[in-house]
Structure 1
């Protein structure tokens, strides 16, 4: 919403399709007034509290919006692809290894990927990994995706600890399949 500074009258209103991330700036160009602001879905809430942030019904959609005061264009709805269906391999770990993997995951990975692997959508939801990503999981954790922003844990986690985290993620993927896709089978 935009209000006139002199009397508080509402001048304009539009959905932003995501969370407003910063204060707006207003300016004049060619005798017209514009308001510009950033939208997206970031910060601690959308990453660390993934399960709760999903309840907000917002998906990551980052852009800079500019509106002309008095303009009549409408913001298009974002076209989000469907969420990926999990493709976990067969679970081979023991219940004890899975429990250790949960603790390791929440201790090392939850800051970006959400508690219990439930991402708010800004970073990959580790419950929804593809078969290919599962095949390369250890290499990814050890640094294979540095260029995409995934840090290396090669100096932090032992290979067997990475396997335990992976086992926990396989469990979480199967839990998600049971919850969201049980009618597909």
Structure 2
């Protein structure tokens, strides 16, 4: 009987720990992204994705964005940008100014609710080039749907 109580306590503690991870990022540090080959975009953010097709840099941006996404975004937004339900499915963002505006707002400001970090401020660590490459990769995955 005593073993059953201990087992239930352990399972409950484990469930609570895992659910806490699902609710907030905590202290996540974005991984560096090499953007060699993409043209520098400068300090001021572009209004729209500069690598969207028919950009001559589209294919390279998809390649760089794929690696960057898997290193920095997939743990919450899902492999191949297919959300498992913890975070928004980014493939649903329109490949337009409106989708770009939402994307920029999130990567620049992050998402914090009630003091819990749901998404870190990615632009504090990753360059505009890296983040637009991620956006380009996400759009390429959305096109496969």
> What range describes the TM-score normalised by the shorter chain of this pair?
0.5 to 0.7
Indicate the structure (1 or 2) with the bigger Cα radius of gyration: 1
Query: Given that residues 127 and 172 in structure 1 are in contact (C-alpha distance below 8 angstroms), is that contact kept between their aligned partners in structure 2?
Result: yes
**Following the alignment from structure 2 to structure 1, what is the Cα–Cα distance between the partners of residues 107 and 87?**
14
Counterpart of 1:115 in structure 2 is 79
Deviations 1:76-134 (A, max 9, x none): xxxxxxxxxxxxxx634421111100000101111111122111112111111245343
Aligned length: 98
Q: 1:146 to 1:92 in 2, by over 3 A?
A: farther
- Aligned residue for 1:124, secondary structure, equals coil
The answer to whether 1:100 aligns with 2:100 is: no
Alignment match of 1:162 (pick from 126, 131, 135): 131
1:2-81 aligned within 5 A: 23=12
Q: Cα offset for 1:167?
A: 0.5
Q: Which runs of 5+ in 1 are unaligned?
A: 6-21, 24-37, 45-89, 177-185
- Aligned residue for 2:71, secondary structure, equals helix
Deviations 1:45-74 (A, max 9, x none): xxxxxxxxxxxxxxxxxxxxxxxxxxxxxx
Query: Given that residues 91 and 139 in structure 2 are in contact (C-alpha distance below 8 angstroms), is that contact kept between their aligned partners in structure 1?
Result: yes
**Following the alignment from structure 2 to structure 1, what is the Cα–Cα distance between the partners of residues 79 and 20?**
16
Q: CA RMSD in A?
A: 3.2
Q: Name segments (4+ residues, structure 1) moved above 4 Å.
A: 41-44
Q: Which runs of 5+ in 2 are unaligned?
A: 2-10, 23-51
Structure with greater strand percent = 1
Structure with greater helix percent = 2
Alignment match of 2:103 (pick from 129, 137, 141): 137
Q: Cα offset for 1:166?
A: 0.5
**Following the alignment from structure 1 to structure 2, what is the Cα–Cα distance between the partners of residues 160 and 96?**
11
